[in-house]
Structure 1
Amino acid sequence: MNPIDAFEKLFFAVFGQTTYDELMILAPVNRVQYRPEWTKSLFKIAFGIYMLVSVVVLVNLLIAMMSDTYQRIQAQSDIEWKFGLSKLIRNMHRTTTAPAPINLITTWLFYLVDVCRAR
């Protein structure tokens, strides 16, 4: 197994696409296989540690990114609230409408004032 194949198998193992059986390498047919039993246990332990560390690092990275996004939104929220409030106040000053039942009276009153001024 060359380093590129090893990297590929470990990379896809993080996403659950590789199993322990796929990582076991068999010796060629014409060669004598010499593999001590403790190497299988060592490989299982090393593979388990790799999987654990990679998942912990990825979860911590996700938490850090979400925390940074939350802090940026929190820093801008006061400015956004003040901007929205100023827009609301500006629109309220621009219009002279009253609530629904009263607007009939005020509309007719302003109309009569405009007619009187025009004469």
Structure 2
Amino acid sequence: MTDLNRIFAALADETRFKVVEHLMAQGEQPAGSLTELAGLSAPAVSRHLKVLREANLVSQRVEGTHRYYSVRSEALRSISDWTLEHRAFWAGSLDRLDTLLALDPDGKDTA
């Protein structure tokens, strides 16, 4: 499974998506605040965070007995790059469709 596949698979879960959005908006957060956000038990949130770490979406920083999580900008950049590549494809496809629609049934330009 490629990194991008892992990222999208991890984000397909509503709770993990919510956690990533929260971390993007608030910056680095302790695991306890993520437990409150998700409304789940600490072990459940820990399992979600493990999936996010394995997908390289979040990083973990340990300070004493506390664990802090933040979104990895590289993961977001890979999503953005993928989106921009596909946007260019669809823009080109729509341009080609416009050209085809401008032709009459005999293949002549009607513009």
Q: Normalised by the size of structure 2, how large is the TM-score?
A: 0.40
Between 1 and 2, higher relative CO (CA 8 Å, sep ≥ 6) is seen in 2
Structure with the larger strand share:
2
Structure with the larger helix share:
1
Structure showing greater radius of gyration is 1
